Amino acid sequence: ITSCPSLEVPSNSRRVTIPTAVSSSSVPIGSVVYHICSEEFDLHGSSARKCQTNGKWSGDPVTCVARNLTCTGPEKMMDSAGRMCLCTNGTLTNCHRYRQDWLNLTSQQKEEYITAVKTLSSDPLYQPLYRNLMIRYRNTSRTLSQSLEPSNTHFLPWNRYYLHQYEDMLRLVNPNLYIPYWDWTLLHQTPYQNPVFNSSSQGFGNSSNPATKCVNEGPFRQGKFKVVSQGKTKCLRREYGGATPLLSRLELEGE
């Protein structure tokens, strides 16, 4: 047995196969297929399915079920997927992905997000898709480093496209997640004292240890988290910038 039969693409979804399938009728053993439902649909089944050595697929078959868009309540409200919508004449409309400041997330939401990030990068079922995006991002950013500088008009759509792809991957792990942001203007004089950078289970941790060159505190510390580098995995390395102030809200708004 060298392959599994090709899976049908459910209605209202798109599929990603890694490595890319070379046949329309079969997929090599070890390949993983990921299904992502369209915005108005919820995924039922296994978002990631692996072709096993017995020629059968792991997990449960996938269907994309239309989301319940009926509503009674305030003008603005969340749907079942955590999107912000307008309740108009009993129907949810104009729904969009809703991102919150990290400080406004509950403790549970913070831990769920960090868990999803770590699962995406380390679970063998999701790791191939994660590695593929990280390597593609690294290669693209190096190749286009000159043409995609922040002043270039292509920088914003390229950056947003990458984040959208990454967010879709996180939602394979937990369909109720969206990428949060952090408002540095709240503590722009000492931005890295923001709780988003603390070393608890609800923060992203500190800068690298000068001796080991690796992050050694928090959920992404050495031994608990690895990054993709030239096809290999290494510890996370980063330097936040010490006490350097960032722009205030007034400066950003040009006042």
| Contact indicator for 23, 6 with CB cutoff of 8 Å | yes
What does the pLDDT look like over 188-214, one tens digit per residue?
Answer: 888 888 888 888 999 999 889 888 889
What mean pLDDT, rounded, does the chain reach? 86
Residue type, 34: Y
State how far the Cα of 173 lies from the Cα of 133, in Å rounded to an integer: 16
State how far the Cα of 156 lies from the Cα of 255, in Å rounded to an integer: 23
In which residue ranges of the chain is CATH 2.10.70.10 found?
A: 3-66
Q: Is the pLDDT of residue 141 over 80?
A: no
Which has more confidence, 254 or 184? Answer: 184
State how far the Cα of 104 lies from the Cα of 171, in Å rounded to an integer: 20
Distances (CA, A) of 109 to 103, 174, 179: 11, 11, 11
- Give yes or no for a cis peptide into 74 (omega within 30° of 0): no
Which has more confidence, 73 or 102? Answer: 102
Structure confidence at residue 145 as a pLDDT band (50, 70, 90)? low
Q: Is the pLDDT of residue 36 over 80?
A: yes
List of residues 6+ apart from 141 with CB closer than 8 A: 148
Q: Is 94 helix (H, G, I), strand (E, B) or coil?
A: strand
Structure confidence at residue 147 as a pLDDT band (50, 70, 90)? low
CATH number of 3-66: 2.10.70.10
Q: Which burial class, exposed, middle or buried, applies to 244 when counting CB atoms under 10 A from its CB (0-12, 13-18, 19+)?
A: exposed
Beta strands in the chain (DSSP E): 3-5, 13-18, 26-28, 32-37, 41-44, 48-50, 63-66, 76-78, 84-88, 91-96, 227-229, 232-234
Average pLDDT (119-128) is: 90
| Contact indicator for 162, 156 with CB cutoff of 8 Å | no
pLDDT, residue 191, reads 83
Two structure tokens written together for 153: 């008009």
Q: Is the pLDDT of residue 114 over 90?
A: yes
Q: Is the pLDDT of residue 158 over 90?
A: no
Structure confidence at residue 24 as a pLDDT band (50, 70, 90)? low
Q: Which burial class, exposed, middle or buried, applies to 33 when counting CB atoms under 10 A from its CB (0-12, 13-18, 19+)?
A: buried
